[in-house]
């Protein structure tokens, strides 16, 4: 069955963050399978492109600079004329992020008799860290409550990228949804390849950590671990990413690292090569729904050191005590790094034990599951509509 699906994206932008990458992957997969996908977003640079419906951006007055610095361009709900156009004739509406636009659109979709699904790609801390409240249980719970009341309580099915965020969100809001736990998926290009190291990295111990340069990704603990490492002179950090804290992280790196880390955003093709020259992968982000970058590293065959943060799903992938460090301690992270530096044979064996895990997160399998979720939601909605018709006729 060919479907017409409208994606409503309060925030889209460039593919330099997990939510946008995951969203565009699903869109490309659906289009490749012959489905029509319409995209509602506030990105003016997409104006005129087939399938895009551009809506107004939010205005933040004196805070516009801060918002731009964080690399986001949220949609407003001021004008729904383009949205109505995008929804007309659609079989389903899917939401990838809840801002000011999505709550209005889900109500409009309901009025128009269109079923809805939504993906939960964000944790409360992704919002509260902008106000220094990421460690406030009250603030984080308030965000989850708002997300539930504004959008997720109104859709027909919810997609969660991990069991971790499924359990957290539904436990916090005391509800059980029609839900689908589907990984964002790891593409087959992330595999072991023979790659020559550049001259500047020969003889060095290379550690990679891929994440947006933002507070909750906690690059600082990895940089600070270099202060305590016995092998700091031999270690080079490669930190692919982009984000508002890049300048600050570069300054901190000069304080703690013997060798200047390598910063900057890299497309997937380059990331495969970077991971293939790494000796160790450290995942230190304290907030993570699904650690895709970690899973990509594991797929390539790299031994990982993972945070034990209770707000991250990544700790669940630790297979031994040397793969896990105390998220509050840069010293403990340094100790784990030094252990793997000093035990190369064990490091190689560890990488082998992880490589099979990647098969559980196959990209194409995930895309097929997303397609089935959309189709099932449409089917279930139509069955409910058909069942309600006799009741309506009786009342008439």
Instruction: Give residue 333's pLDDT band: very low, low, confident or very high (50, 70, 90).
Output: very high
Taking residues 338-357, report their average pLDDT.
92
Nearest one of 222, 219, 226 to 256, comparing CA atoms: 226
Cβ 87 vs Cβ 4: under 8 Å = no
**Which residue's structure tokens are 């492109």?**
49
For β-strands 179-181 and 205-208, DSSP reports them as unpaired
Please name each of the domains of the chain with its CATH number: 4-185+362-395 (3.40.50.2000), 199-360 (3.40.50.2000)
Whole-angstrom distance, CA of residue 308 vs CA of residue 362: 25
pLDDT on residue 288: 92
Which secondary structure element, helix H or strand E, spans residue 57, and what is its range?
A: none
In this predicted model, what pLDDT tens digit does every residue of 9-51 receive, in sequence order? Answer: 999 988 888 899 999 999 999 999 999 999 999 999 999 999 9
Does the structure show a pLDDT above 60 at 393? Answer: no
Instruction: Give residue 1's pLDDT band: very low, low, confident or very high (50, 70, 90).
Output: confident
Does the structure show a pLDDT above 90 at 304? Answer: yes
* Contacts of 156 by beta carbon, 8 Å cutoff, 6+ apart: 115, 116, 117, 178, 377, 380, 381
Task: Read off the tokens for 336.
Answer: 């784990």
Cβ 113 vs Cβ 103: under 8 Å = no
In this predicted model, what pLDDT tens digit does every residue of 225-248 receive, in sequence order? Answer: 999 999 999 999 999 999 999 999
Does the structure show a pLDDT above 80 at 72? Answer: no
- Give SS3 for 304: strand
- Give SS3 for 37: strand
Does the structure show a pLDDT above 70 at 391? Answer: no
pLDDT on residue 357: 75
Does the structure show a pLDDT above 70 at 360? Answer: yes
Cβ 301 vs Cβ 351: under 8 Å = yes
Does the structure show a pLDDT above 70 at 7? Answer: yes
pLDDT on residue 268: 83
Does the structure show a pLDDT above 70 at 70? Answer: no
Does the structure show a pLDDT above 80 at 287? Answer: yes
User: Mean pLDDT over all residues of the chain?
Assistant: 92
Instruction: Give residue 355's pLDDT band: very low, low, confident or very high (50, 70, 90).
Output: confident
Does the structure show a pLDDT above 90 at 390? Answer: no
Task: Read off the tokens for 187.
Answer: 């593409």
The DSSP line for 132-188 is T-TT-HHHHHHHHHHHIIIIITTSSEEEESSHHHHHHHHHHHT---SEEE----B-T
Per-residue burial over 195-208, b = 16 or more CB atoms within 10 Å of its CB, e = otherwise: eeeeeeeeeebbbb
pLDDT on residue 131: 86
Does the structure show a pLDDT above 60 at 129? Answer: yes
Does the structure show a pLDDT above 80 at 113? Answer: yes
pLDDT on residue 259: 97
In this predicted model, what pLDDT tens digit does every residue of 143-168 receive, in sequence order? Answer: 999 999 999 999 999 999 999 999 99
Task: Read off the tokens for 285.
Answer: 């982000």
Whole-angstrom distance, CA of residue 301 vs CA of residue 382: 45
Whole-angstrom distance, CA of residue 354 vs CA of residue 351: 5
Greatest Cα-to-Cα distance within the chain, rounded to the nearest angstrom: 81
Does the structure show a pLDDT above 60 at 74? Answer: yes
Whole-angstrom distance, CA of residue 22 vs CA of residue 120: 11
């Amino acid at each position: 069955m060919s479907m017409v699906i409208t994606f409503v994206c309060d925030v889209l932008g460039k593919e330099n963050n997990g939510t946008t990458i995951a969203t565009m992957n699903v869109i490309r997969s659906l289009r490749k399978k012959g489905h029509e996908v319409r995209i509602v977003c506030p990105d003016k640079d997409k104006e005129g492109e087939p399938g895009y419906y551009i809506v107004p951006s939010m205005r933040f007055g004196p805070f516009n600079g801060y918002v731009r610095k964080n690399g986001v361009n949220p949609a407003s709900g001021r004008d729904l004329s383009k949205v109505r156009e995008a929804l007309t004739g659609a079989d389903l509406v899917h939401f990838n992020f809840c801002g000011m636009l999505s709550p209005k659109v889900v109500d409009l979709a309901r009025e128009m008799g269109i079923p809805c699904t939504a993906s939960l790609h964000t944790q409360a801390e992704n919002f509260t860290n902008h106000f220094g409240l990421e460690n406030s249980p009250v603030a984080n719970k308030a965000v989850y409550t708002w997300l539930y009341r504004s959008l997720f309580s109104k859709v027909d099915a919810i997609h969660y990228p991990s069991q971790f965020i499924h359990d957290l969100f539904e436990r916090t809001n005391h509800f059980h949804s029609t839900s689908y736990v589907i990984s964002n998926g790891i593409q087959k290009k992330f595999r072991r390849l023979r790659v020559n190291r550049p001259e500047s990295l020969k003889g060095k111990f290379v550690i990679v950590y891929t994440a947006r340069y933002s507070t909750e990704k906690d690059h600082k603990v990895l940089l600070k671990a270099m202060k305590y490492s016995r092998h700091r002179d031999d270690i080079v950090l490669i930190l692919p990413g982009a984000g508002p804290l890049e300048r600050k992280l570069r300054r901190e790196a000069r304080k703690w690292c013997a060798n200047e880390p390598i910063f900057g955003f890299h497309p997937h093709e380059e990331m495969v090569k970077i991971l293939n020259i790494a000796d160790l992968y450290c995942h230190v982000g304290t907030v993570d729904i699904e650690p895709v970058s970690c899973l990509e590293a594991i797929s390539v065959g790299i031994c990982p050191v993972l945070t034990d943060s209770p707000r991250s799903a990544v700790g669940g992938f630790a297979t031994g005590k040397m793969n896990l460090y105390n998220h509050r301690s840069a010293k403990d992270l340094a100790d784990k790094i030094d252990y793997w530096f000093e035990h190369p044979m064990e490091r190689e064996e560890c990488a082998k034990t992880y490589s099979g895990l990647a098969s559980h997160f196959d990209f194409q399998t995930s895309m097929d599951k997303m397609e089935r979720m959309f189709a099932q939601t449409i089917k279930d909605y139509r069955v409910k509509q058909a069942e309600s018709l006799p009741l309506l006729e009786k009342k008439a």
